[in-house]
Amino acid sequence: MAVSDSDLALLDDPAEWGAFSVAITPATVQAPAVWESSVVIEGMHCANCAGSVEAAVLRTPGVLSAQVSAASHRAAVRWQQGVAAPSAWMAHIQQAGYGVLPALDVHAVAARKREKRLALWRWAVAGLCSMQVMMFAYPAYFSTAGDVTPEMDQLLRWASWVLTLPVLVFSCSPYFESAWRDVRARRIGMDVPVAIGIALTFVTSSWGTFDRDSLFGATVYFDSLTMFVFFLLSGRALELRLRDRTAGALEALINRMPQSVERCLADDTSERIAARWLAVGDRMRVSAGEVFAADGVIESGSTEVDEALLSGESRPLLRSAGDAVLAGSNNLSGTVVCRVTQVGGSTRYAEIAALMVAASTTKPDIAALADRIARPFLIIVLLLAAGAGAWWWMVDPQRGVMTAVAILVVTCPCALSLATPTAMLAAAGALARAGVLVRKLGAIEVLARVDTFVFDKTGTLTGDSLALVATESREGLDAQAALAIACALAQHSLHPASRSLVRALAPDPQSPLLRCTMVKETAGQGVQGVLWERASGQSPRNLGPLRLGSAVWCGVDAAQADHSDAAGVRVYVSDAQGWLATFVLGEALRPGAAAVVAALQAQGAQVQLLSGDRAASVVAIAQTVGIATARGDCSPADKLATLQALQAQGRVVAMVGDGLNDTPALAAAAVSFAFSATVAVSQVHADFVVLGQSLDAVLRTRQLAQRTMAIVRQNLWWALVYNAACVPAAVMGHVSPWLAGLGMALSSLFVVLNALRLARQVQVPA
């Protein structure tokens, strides 16, 4: 869809850039600001189209780079503010013959629907006309001499010619338009051979229809033409549908944001405004079934929200007054009023969306190699078709033309170019739905070859909370009873140690009810109160004062009270008689950490642990999860040096960290994972960003990467074997045009369907 110059000029307003662009670097005295824009390209049909768009954009002064994905039909363009303007490089895209729309624009969704609807109409016209033309061609194949008079045969030819015209003009228009763009750009695209084949078949058949005594008067091929166009369009329509499915997670995330929002005014009324006009401090009302348009804090009301694509949490989460909500999450049950805290590119949603768009436009090395092979292959195809056609012309001109057409159609390298990007996008979409974001598609290829995993400890193998690892209590008091007493006081405190004790308690329904009154917390020391016990059917009984906190706060001689050898944070509790219990809190392992390490080792990978924490703590965690090689007291430089030493040994290393202090190691590793719960996604320099809390995501991602590369190899082999088998058959004249069209369509369709197996949900616990 062409956008008018006036509409393009509107996109030069900096206020509009936030809707489809992200600032990469700020303006300085030496250089202008650099922006990266994401746009949707219309009219693309193959990898060569992506190259044409890239070439058109790079002609614009001030454009630094352009990456176009033929699989997702998206482009990422980096440009300098003040030197280049969005309208300039978008105009160049339109001049190259393609449509362009901002990726987050509401019209982009409508354009995609229109493209699918038009593709369906083209397919339907070709199908209906081909069936009718086949009926008219039936007598030519099965009648005997004298069954059909010359006049009737000529009438059938004219009828076939008339029915072929809408197929040629309407259904074949994408092939001719794409071929004309390539010819104007002085390059050979994948639609050039197809367009030449269609044109040759129509011209020679029309020649035979108008002049039966000519070289081509013996037979016409309108039935073959309409049939192979129908087959080609069938394959392309299915590719379009399957491409939408493989990119489903990306589309679901990017297109879920509302275009308008209800803003609350000071007089308790409200107004409906465009979502992009929200500002920090505004109050917005979000009803059940709507999507939050900005990050905020709930001021009134309560609801359940779905944050599956934003935080990795698959279950609905309860949110009430004082709780934070994220832009892009779904409000499931109730109406709430929120105070806006972050808008636009500052929201977590914007960071994740930008990351996914960037991933969808990157081109893995293996895909770039396939594209480089496809371009000279097209030249060889044209030369081969010309040579075979000339050879057979000397025997039979009609057969020479049809042989050339068959070669042009059957050898189209679409399957070769689709083999890698479709599989990579399908895998990235499946991972995104499971809460793992892929920053670079090429990382999937590298991850499949990883033989060494290096884990950080804090925030990676362990979570952010503490866990109860040991308990020492007064003689005559069991550990569970001591914990119940401590929790009666701990539940009134927000200190992390108190929260950990409360989480560790498994209440016994038969035990007396304990509660504390007159609770007072002293920062940095502990909490105190009066303990009451109430048994069933009895009045509450005062058990006296109770203290929870440090040894000094509780009046306990720590050397006497601490008998445990466990390492960790110690919390004490005392009553009127003195020391009551000591609780040792240690780092809690992430769910399934030991199982993940064991599974990686079982697959032949070496696993190591590097951490900046004390060596004793690191060794203890390593022994718990089954890691033999562990090192503590590591600075970021030490981690980097260790990774470089492993790489010098020829090992392919993956680094798994929390994204906070592991940046040098994450950047140096062949491939890297980061858990983003404690850091902004935009600040994580990892290839894979895990939104949830389960370490199992690392294992599942590696398994999917290996499956992906297996399917990529299958696709590439299929494309090579298909061409190796079909080219000789076409050269020898054994492949008719309609059969060539069927083979080309089935070849591309096989590649896409094979890749679609990766699009199924990857089960990664939250």
The CATH class, in words, for 425-462+590-703 is alpha beta
**Cα(448)–Cα(603) distance, rounded to whole angstroms?**
12
| Res. 765 pLDDT band, cuts 50 70 90 | very low
From start to end of 683-751, where are the E strands? 688-690
Looking at 3.40.50.2000, 3.40.1110.10, 3.40.640.10, 3.10.50.40, the CATH number of the domain 465-588 comes to: 3.40.1110.10
CA nearest to 231, candidates 410, 494, 464: 410
pLDDT tens-digit profile of 270-329?
888 877 788 889 999 998 888 888 889 999 888 888 876 665 555 678 888 888 888 888
Distance CA 377, CA 410 (A): 13
Q: Over the stretch 699-750, which tens digit does the pLDDT of each residue have?
A: 989 999 998 888 888 887 887 787 778 878 888 877 776 677 677 767 777 7
Residue range(s) in the chain whose domain bears CATH number 2.70.150.10: 257-290+295-342
**Cα separation, 67 vs 350, whole angstroms:** 20
User: What tokens appear for 200 in the block?
Assistant: 């040759």
Report residue 306 as tokens.
């779905």
Q: What is the pLDDT of residue 682?
A: 45
The number of helices, as runs of H, and strands, as runs of E, in the chain is: 25, 27
Q: How confident is the model at residue 696 (pLDDT cuts 50, 70, 90)?
A: confident
Closest of 397, 404, 398, 402 to residue 382, by C-alpha? 404
Helix (H, G, I), strand (E, B) or coil at 506: coil
In the beta sheet, which residues pair with residue 587?
466
CATH label, 257-290+295-342, candidates 3.90.1070.10, 2.70.150.10, 1.10.580.10, 3.40.50.1220:
2.70.150.10
Long-range contacts of 734-737 (CB under 8 A, 24+ apart): 735/406, 735/410, 736/224, 736/402, 736/406, 737/197, 737/201, 737/221, 737/224, 737/225, 737/228, 737/402, 737/405, 737/406, 737/409
In the predicted model, what is the mean pLDDT of residues 344-364? 64
Per residue in 501-546, pLDDT (tens digit) is: 888 887 776 667 888 999 988 877 889 999 988 776 677 888 899 9
Determine contact, residues 740/406, Cβ cutoff 8 Å: yes
Q: Looking at the chain, which residues constitute the CATH 3.30.70.100 domain(s)?
A: 5-103
Q: Return d(Cα 293, Cα 63) in angstroms, integer.
A: 31
- Spatial neighbors of 605 by CB under 8 A, at least 6 apart, are 450, 451, 452, 453
Q: What topology does CATH give the domain 5-103? A: Alpha-Beta Plaits (3.30.70)
Distance between CA atoms of residues 397 and 95, nearest Å = 39
**484 or 96, which is more confident:** 484
